[in-house]
A and B are shown apart, each in its own frame.
Chain A
């Protein structure tokens, strides 16, 4: 299955987009918050 994806829009312009693929399947139910990690990127 093609990985699902979500799209984040760059702040300044609508057409500058960052594609971040997510998992192959949505999590149901969502995981407990203790498992969650954070990632930070800048894509100029």
Chain B
């Protein structure tokens, strides 16, 4: 993973906010290096991270994939058919046309890390401002690390200053 962010997408409302979401859904966007992890692998994780046969209770919390480009759309079709064959049921998880992804407000981004006190403050200072912090690979990896995912080594390989490394969990 290179960068991650949360936001609102799939709807038509311009400039949605958390309290005025319109017809959008809460979504995540991931920038990834296909030489390291493929789109198929991300799709496989997506399918196992939710119940694809359950219909959404609301638009805000729906499950769907928004493929970017023809190749992602093709891979999604293949992946979805494989899931349906495996489950023996139709998949309720939807598909959205490629469209605008509206970044959520800053206080939603890197939520766990944002509440990590000195570690968060040190990272914001290191990257210069909140936007750069949110868009950093380090923030994405440390945010996961705080909840037990990934490795400390994967963070240390980013060559962060020692005072920050010392604050890592």
Known: A5-B150, A6-B143, A7-B112. A44 touches B57 (CB 8 A): yes
Residues of A within 8 A of B (CB): 4-12, 14, 17-23, 25-28, 30-31, 35-44
Q: How far is the CA of A5 from the CA of B33 in the complex (A)?
A: 14
Q: List 27 A-B contacts (CB under 8 A).
A: A4-B141, A6-B4, A7-B112, A7-B143, A8-B4, A8-B28, A10-B6, A10-B26, A14-B111, A20-B1, A22-B1, A22-B154, A23-B36, A25-B36, A31-B2, A35-B33, A35-B34, A37-B34, A39-B39, A40-B30, A40-B65, A41-B64, A42-B28, A42-B63, A42-B66, A43-B49, A44-B60
Number of A-B residue pairs with CB-CB distance less than 8 Å in the complex they form: 165
What residues make up the interface of B, taking CB atoms closer than 8 Å to A?
A: 1-2, 4, 6, 9-10, 18, 25-37, 39, 41-42, 45-46, 49-50, 56-58, 60-66, 68, 72, 96, 101, 104, 108, 111-112, 137, 140-141, 143-147, 149-151, 153-155, 157-159
Complex contact A6–B140 (CB within 8 A): yes
